[in-house]
Amino acid sequence: MQGFSCPDNAQNASKEFHVNASMMLAKLKENLCGEEESRKAEHAPCDYCPFSWVLHERKCYYFSEKKKTWSESERYCSSQTASLAVIDSEEEKNFITTMLTKARGYSWLGLTKDNDRWMWVTGDVLLPEMFLMKEGSSSSNSTCAVFHVTSIQAEKCFNPNKWVCEKNTMEFPTLF
């Protein structure tokens, strides 16, 4: 019995399909990951974020333009497989400060007061050395926190503010 062999035109079609698919994936990778990431090794993965999110240090951030209550903001972030932002490093604080300085105003973070302790949505306690926490005269009713310039301020959770979501980046798959 003879071995099966593809006719030349079928082999050419297969090669052409592979070349076209590779070119389309390269273009998609460039669009999602940027030119610099795309120039890396052809099969190297790259991190990317959804449209209108900002990539920074392997995290994606969403800076809202609209205003919502803290709970509504948290629900929005959850619907995007994200959480309200948790600032856990000086570098991340500087990045968010820079981004929010451009946006002006106050933005919800994933920080709430529980039994006189400020807790991130991750369960971690707010480190006082990282932030100056401003608590106004009505702070007993203010159990959520907004970020403004370089400080965090106690705020009533039902007041509408902008918000910041964060989530891990997505990785562009390597198929070939």
Query: What integer pLDDT is reported at residue 55 of this predicted model?
Result: 92
**CATH for the 48-168 domain, from 3.10.100.10, 3.40.1190.20, 3.20.20.70, 3.40.50.300:** 3.10.100.10
Query: What integer pLDDT is reported at residue 7 of this predicted model?
Result: 64
Spatial distance between the Cα atoms of 109 and 129, rounded to a whole number of angstroms: 17
Which residue in this structure is represented by tokens 């948790």?
A: 86
- Print the SS3 string covering 41-98: CCCCCCEECCCCCEEECCEEEEECCCCECHHHHHHHHHHCCCEECCCCCHHHHHHHHH
What percent of the chain clears pLDDT 90, i.e. is strictly above it?
47
Query: What integer pLDDT is reported at residue 16 of this predicted model?
Result: 65
How confident is the model over 118-130, as pLDDT tens digits?
Answer: 999 999 999 888 7
Query: What integer pLDDT is reported at residue 148 of this predicted model?
Result: 85
More confident residue, 128 or 99: 99
Strands 83-84 and 59-63: unpaired
Question: Where do the structural domains in the chain lie, given as residue ranges?
Answer: 8-46, 48-168
DSSP string covering 122-166: TSPBPPTTT-EEE--TTTTS--EEEEETTEEEEE-TTS-BEEEEE
More confident residue, 28 or 49: 49
Query: Which residues are paired to 147 by β-bridges?
Result: 107, 152
Query: What integer pLDDT is reported at residue 48 of this predicted model?
Result: 84
The closest alpha carbon to 153, from 124, 99, 123, 113, belongs to: 113
Query: What integer pLDDT is reported at residue 116 of this predicted model?
Result: 85
Query: What integer pLDDT is reported at residue 86 of this predicted model?
Result: 96
How confident is the model over 133-163, as pLDDT tens digits?
Answer: 777 645 567 899 999 877 889 999 999 999 9
**pLDDT interval class at 84 (50, 70, 90):** very high
How confident is the model over 16-38, as pLDDT tens digits?
Answer: 655 555 555 555 545 555 555 54
pLDDT of 13 strictly over 70? no
| Chain mean pLDDT for the chain | 80
Query: What integer pLDDT is reported at residue 128 of this predicted model?
Result: 80
